[in-house]
Structure 1
Amino acid sequence: MERFRERIINAEIYKSGRLSGLSFWWVFFVTIFGLLLTINQVFNLRFAGFQLISTAYYYLMIGIFGGLVFLFFPARKNQDRPQIYDWLMTFVWFFCSVWISIKAQYIIDRGWNQGAPIEAVVIATIYVALSLEALRRTGGKFLFIFCLLFATFPLYAGKMPGFLWGVELTFSQTVSEHVFGMEGIIGVPMQVVCDTLIGFLVFGVVLAGTGGGAFFMDFANSLMGSRRGGPAKVAIVSSGLFGSLSGSPTSNVMTTGSLTIPAMIRCGYSPTYAAAVEACASTGGTIMPPVMGTAAFIMASFLNVPYSHVVVSAFIPAVFYYVFLILQTDCYAARKGLRGLPTEELPSLRTTLLGGWYYLVALIILTFMLLMMPAQNEVPYWVSLFLIVIALFRRHSLRFDMRRFVTLVVEIGQSIAQIVGLIAGIGLIIGSMSITGVANSFSRELVQIAGDNLWLLLLVGAFTSFVLGIGMTASACYIFLAIVLAPALVQIGIDPMAAHLYIFYWGMVSFITPPVALAAIAASTIAKANPIVTGFYALRVGSLLFLLPVIFILEPALLLRGSWSALIQAVLTTTLAVFLLSAAVEGFFWRVGLLGYVSRLILGISGLCFLVPGWKTDIIAIFLFVLFLIGGFLRINGKSIYKSG
Structure 2
Amino acid sequence: MGVPYSARVNRLLTATLAVSVLPVLFLGIERIFNMGIIGAALIDNLYLYLILTLVLPATFVIYPIRREGMLFRLLDAVLALLCFGVFLYFSFSSYKIVSFAWEFAPPKIAVVVAILAWLLLIEAARRVGGLAVTVVIIVFSLYPVFAEYLPGPIAGFSQPFDLTIAYHLMSKESVLGIPLRAFANLVIGFIVFGVVLQKTGAGDFFNNFALALIGGARGGAAKVSILASGGMGSMSGSVVSNILTTGAVTIPAMKRTGFSSRHAAAIEACASTGAVLMPPVMGATAFVMASFLNVPYWTVAVAAAIPSILFYFALFIQIDCYAARYNLTGLPRSELPSLKAVLASGWHYLAGLLVLVVIMVNPGWERVAPFYATLVLLVLDLVMEHKRATPEKYFTILAEIMRAIVALVALLAGIGLIVGGMVVSGLAGTLANDLVFIAGSSVPALLIMGGITSFIFGMGMTVTASYIFLAIVLSPALTQAGLNPLGVHLFVVYWSMLSFITPPVAIGSFVAASLAEEKPLAVGFQSMRFGAVMYILPFMFVLNPALVFQDDLNHVAVSFLCAVAGVFLIASGMQGQMARVGSLGRGMMGALNRGLTIALGVCCAFAFTPFVAFSIVAAVAVVLAVSLAASLFATKRAERLPNAV
TM-score bracket relative to the smaller structure: over 0.9
Deviation at 1:154, TM superposition (A): 1.1
Residue 489 of structure 1 aligns with an amino acid whose one-letter code is: L
| 1:57 equivalenced with 2:31 (yes/no) | no
Tell me if structure 2 keeps the 8 A contact 1:74–1:80: no
Superposition map of 1:73-222 within 5 A: 73-76=63-66, 83-222=73-212
Correspondences of 1:524-543 after superposition (within 5 Å): 524-543=513-532
Q: Which among 468, 476, 479 is matched to residue 457 of structure 2? A: 468
Q: Which amino acid aligns with 1:506?
A: W
Which of 554, 560, 565 pairs up with 2:554? Answer: 565
Query: 1:250, CA displacement in angstroms?
Result: 1.1
Query: CA contact under 8 A between 1:183 and 1:434: conserved in structure 2?
Result: yes
- Report sequence identity in percent: 38
Q: CA deviation at 1:44?
A: 1.0
Equivalent position amino acid for 1:253 in 2:
I
d(CA) in 1 for partners of 2:6, 2:382:
20
Q: Which residue of 1 aligns with 2:567?
A: 578
Match of 1:371 in 2: 361
Deviation at 1:590, TM superposition (A): 2.8
1:146/1:635 Cα in 2 relative to 1: closer, same or farther (>3 Å)? closer
The root-mean-square deviation of aligned C-alpha atoms, in Å, is: 2.2
Distance 1:637 1:100, change over 3 A: closer
- The equivalent position to 2:621 in structure 1, one of 623, 626, 633, is 626
Q: Tell me the residue number matched to 2:10.
A: 20
2:241 aligned partner: 251
In the TM superposition, what whole-angstrom CA distance separates every residue of 1:110-165 from its partner, at most 9, and x where no partner exists? 11111211111111011111110111011111111111111111110110111311
Quote the Cα distance in structure 2 between the aligned partners of 1:575 and 1:620: 13
Aligned counterparts of 2:72 and 2:562: Cα–Cα separation in 1? 56
Q: Between 58-67 and 589-598, report the one with greater CA deviation.
A: 589-598
> In the alignment, does 2:601 pair up with 1:604?
no
Q: Structure 1 residues 609, 84: CA separation in 2 closer, same or farther (over 3 Å shift)?
A: same
Q: Which amino acid aligns with 2:339?
A: L
Question: Is residue 2:382 matched to residue 1:392?
Answer: yes
Structure 2 residue aligned with 1:514, among 503, 528, 540? 503
Question: CA contact under 8 A between 2:223 and 2:319: conserved in structure 1?
Answer: yes
Q: Secondary structure at the match of 2:361?
A: helix
Deviations 1:558-581 (A, max 9, x none): 111112221121011111111111
Q: Equivalents in 2 of 1:354, 1:82: separation in Å?
A: 50
Q: Deviations over 1:452-496 (max 9, x none)?
A: 100111011001100000011000000000001101111110001
Q: Distance in 2 between matches of 1:289 and 1:270?
A: 30
Please tell me whether the aligned partners of residues 631 and 641 of structure 1 are also in contact (alpha carbons under 8 angstroms).
Answer: no
Q: 1:166 to 1:512 in 2, by over 3 A?
A: same
Superposed CA offset, 1:259-299 (max 9, x none): 11000000110000000000000000111111210111111
Shift of 1:618: 3.9
Deviations 1:346-380 (A, max 9, x none): 11100000111110111111112111152311111
Report deviation, 1:50: 5.2
Q: How does 1:369-448 map to 2 (within 5 A)?
A: 369-394=359-384, 397-448=386-437
Contact 2:86 2:113 in 1 (8 A): yes
**1:343 and 1:52, CA in 2 relative to 1: closer, same or farther beyond 3 A?**
same
1:139/1:472 contact within 8 Å kept:
yes
**Residue identity opposite 2:524 in structure 1:** G
CA distance in structure 1 between the aligned counterparts of 2:548 and 2:46, rounded to whole angstroms: 37
* Separation (CA, whole Å) in 1 of partners of 2:39 and 2:470: 41
Q: Which residue of 2 aligns with 1:4?
A: none
| Distance in 2 of aligned mates of 1:439 and 1:548 | 27
Please give the per-residue CA displacement for 1:380-422, whole angstroms capped at 9, x wherever unaligned.
Answer: 111111111122223x623331111001101100000000010
C-alpha contact (below 8 Å) 2:121/2:410 kept by paired residues: yes
Q: Is residue 70–residue 82 contact of structure 1 (8 Å, CA) maintained in 2?
A: no
**Does the Cα contact within 8 Å between 1:574 and 1:611 map onto a contact in 2?**
yes
Distance between the aligned counterparts of 1:282 and 1:81, measured in 2?
39
Deviation, structure 1 residue 89: 1.4
**In 2 relative to 1, CA 501–635 (structure 1 residues): closer, same or farther, beyond 3 Å?**
closer
- Name the aligned partner's letter for residue 117 of structure 2: Y
CA distance in 1, matches of 2:12, 2:626: 73
Matches within 5 A, 1:356-367: 356-367=346-357
Call closer, same or farther: CA 1:550–1:76 in 2, change over 3 Å: farther
Q: What TM-score comes out, normalization by structure 1 length?
A: 0.94
Is the contact between residue 68 and residue 90 of structure 1 (CA under 8 Å) also seen in structure 2? yes
- 1:490-501 pair list within 5 angstroms: 490-501=479-490
Return the alpha-carbon distance in structure 2 between the equivalents of residues 104 and 616 of structure 1.
Answer: 60
Judged with a 3 Å threshold, the aligned counterparts in structure 2 of structure 1 residues 42 and 324 are, in CA distance, closer, same or farther, namely same
> For residue 550 of structure 2, what is the amino acid of its counterpart?
R
What is the CA–CA distance in structure 2 between the aligned matches of 1:223 and 1:125, rounded to whole Å? 57
Q: How does 1:229-248 map to 2 (within 5 A)?
A: 229-248=219-238
**1:262 is matched with which residue?**
252
* Residue equivalent to 2:544: 555
**Which string of whole-angstrom CA distances, capped at 9 and with x for unpartnered residues, describes residues 311-333 of structure 1?**
11111111111111111111111
Deviations 1:26-71 (A, max 9, x none): 2221111211121111111121525422211101111211111111
Q: Does the 8 A contact of 2:14 with 2:395 survive in 1? A: no
Structure-2 change in CA distance of 1:640 and 1:536 (3 Å): farther
Task: Compute the displacement of 1:80 (Å).
Answer: 11
- 1:3 corresponds in structure 2 to none
Hey, which bits of structure 1, 4+ residues long, moved more than 3 A? 10-16, 21-24, 76-82, 634-642
TM norm structure 2: 0.94
Is the deviation greater in 70-79 or in 168-177?
70-79
Decide whether aligned partners of structure 1 residues 321 and 183 sit closer, same or farther in structure 2, where only a CA change above 3 A counts: same
Secondary structure at the counterpart of residue 49 of structure 1: coil
* Aligned position for 1:484: 473
CA contact (8 A) 1:635 1:641 kept: no
The structure-2 alpha-carbon separation of the partners of 1:212 and 1:636, relative to structure 1 and needing over 3 Å to count, comes to: closer
**Equivalent AA in structure 2 for residue 548 of structure 1:** L
Distance 2:371 2:632 in 1: 68
Cα distance between partner residues in 1 of 2:112 and 2:436: 40
Question: What amino acid is aligned across from residue 104 of structure 1 in structure 2?
Answer: S
1:413-438 alpha-carbon deviations (Å, 9 max, x no partner): 00000000100110000000000111
**Counterpart of 1:57 in 2: which secondary structure?**
helix
Alpha-carbon distance in structure 1 between the residues aligned to 2:276 and 2:535: 15
Alignment partners' CA distance in 2, 1:622 and 1:552:
22
| Structure 1 stretch displaced more, 265-274 or 156-165 | 156-165
Change beyond 3 A, Cα 1:622–1:35: same
Aligned to 1:545: 534
Matched-pair contact (CA < 8 Å) for 1:312–1:559 = yes
Contact 2:351 2:377 (C-alpha < 8 Å) held by counterparts: no
Q: Answer whether contact 1:190 1:427 (CA < 8 A) is retained.
A: yes
Please identify, of 21-30 and 343-352, the stretch whose mean Cα deviation from structure 2 is larger.
Answer: 21-30
The whole-number CA distance in structure 2 between the counterparts of 1:373 and 1:461 is: 32
